[in-house]
């Protein structure tokens, strides 16, 4: 998910997306701990998406 896509979402949609992405990330981390993922770069990608969404939410709260 790109920054331009994140900016177009509403606050409610961002919060929902953040919850989904965090859950997906934690599931991937658990799966990777048990048996390695085929593409471990997915972990980094998911972590960065979580950060992008959280940053946008914080930015909107401050405005």
* Domain chopping of the chain, boundaries: 17-62
- pLDDT recorded at residue 1: 85
State how far the alpha carbon of 16 is from the alpha carbons of 19, 36, 40, 52, in Å.
5, 28, 25, 14
Q: Dihedral of CA 23/49/15/10: which sign?
A: negative
pLDDT averages per 10-residue partition of the chain, 63 residues? 92 97 97 94 96 96 93
- pLDDT recorded at residue 41: 96
43, two tokens = 């972990």
pTM of the model: 0.90
- pLDDT recorded at residue 54: 97
């Amino acid at each position: 998910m790109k920054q331009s896509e994140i900016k177009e979402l509403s606050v409610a949609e961002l919060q929902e997306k953040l919850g989904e992405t965090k859950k997906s990330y934690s599931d991937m981390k658990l799966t990777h701990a048990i048996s390695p993922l085929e593409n471990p770069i997915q972990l980094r990608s998911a972590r960065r998406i979580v950060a992008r969404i959280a940053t946008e939410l914080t930015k909107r709260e401050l405005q």
